[in-house]
Amino acid sequence: MKARMTNPAYVLPGALKGIGTLFQAIGESGLSQEMTELVGLRASQVNGCSACVHGHVLNLRKAGVTEERIAAVAAWREAPCFGDAERAALQLTESVTRLADRSHESVPDTLWDEVADHFDERELSALILTISVTNMFNRINTTIREPAGTTWG
Q: What is the pTM of this model?
A: 0.94
- pLDDT category at 1 given cuts 50, 70, 90 is confident
- Closest to 133 (Cα-Cα) out of 4, 3, 29: 29
Question: Distance from CA of residue 98 to its chain's centroid?
Answer: 13
Tell me the pLDDT tens digit for each residue of 88-138: 999 999 999 998 887 788 899 999 999 999 999 999 999 999 999 999 999
Residue 90 · residue 42 · CB < 8 Å? yes
Would you kindly state where each structural domain of the chain is located, as residue ranges? Answer: 32-144
Residue 110 · residue 9 · CB < 8 Å? no
pLDDT at residue 151, as a whole number: 62
Residue 152, pLDDT > 80, answer no
Which CATH architecture is the domain 32-144 placed in?
A: Up-down Bundle (1.20)
Tell me the one-letter amino acid at 122: R
